[in-house]
């Protein structure tokens, strides 16, 4: 019996991009997991934001849009939007968005738009702990929180050591 040759179809990345924006259309954070030109990124961002903002609040949070699906959720004054391929599971993506918001809430203590604006590096760091290449890397909130806590402690220790060495309070002889 001869084995049939099977074709492997690569479907690409799960999440192609994530955009956080205000209800006024100001983009606060965006992460691209696929390659686009700068011009295409700007056009996709503007089009996605305008499309979502023009929708009524009682409409579905999932829409087929160009060659993507836009899956979004509004939390307070921020919209969290993921652009995914057409065959992705919408509920899983919504859960991933919610997990990200829960981690931001835990880190900032009830996250708001200003937290993302003034601490964008932390928001990106948490996002990067969750996703690699558009795929969920770590689903455990406990693990991501512990990683963030360790990163903060390391940063504080480095700052303290650089301050001590800069002021010559610590001399090694």
Tens of pLDDT, residue by residue over 44-77, are 999 999 999 999 999 999 999 888 899 999 999 9
pLDDT at 3 over 60: no
Distance CA(53)–CA(112), nearest Å, equals 19
Distance CA(80)–CA(90), nearest Å, equals 14
Give me the chain's average pLDDT, please: 88
| Domains of the chain, earliest start first | 15-166 (3.30.450.60)
Pairing type for strands 62-65 and 131-132 reads: unpaired
Q: Report how far apart, in Å, the C-alpha atoms of 145 and of each of 18, 85, 105 are.
A: 21, 29, 11
pLDDT at 7 over 50: no
């Amino acid at each position: 019996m001869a084995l049939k040759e099977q074709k492997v179809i690569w479907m690409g990345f799960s999440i192609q991009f994530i955009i956080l924006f205000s209800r006024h259309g100001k983009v606060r954070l965006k992460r691209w997991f696929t390659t686009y030109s700068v011009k295409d990124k700007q056009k996709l961002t503007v089009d996605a934001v305008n499309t979502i903002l023009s929708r009524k609040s009682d409409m579905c949070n999932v829409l087929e849009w160009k060659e993507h699906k836009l899956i979004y959720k509004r939390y307070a004054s921020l919209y969290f939007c993921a652009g995914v391929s057409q065959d992705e599971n919408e509920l899983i993506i919504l859960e991933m968005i919610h997990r990200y918001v829960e981690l931001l809430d835990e880190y900032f203590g009830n996250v708001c738009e200003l937290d993302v604006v003034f601490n964008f590096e932390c928001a990106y760091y948490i996002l990067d702990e969750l996703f690699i290449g558009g795929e969920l890397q770590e689903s455990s909130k406990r693990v991501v929180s512990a990683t963030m806590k360790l990163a903060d402690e390391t940063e504080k220790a480095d700052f303290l050591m650089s301050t001590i060495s800069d002021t010559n309070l610590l001399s090694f002889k």
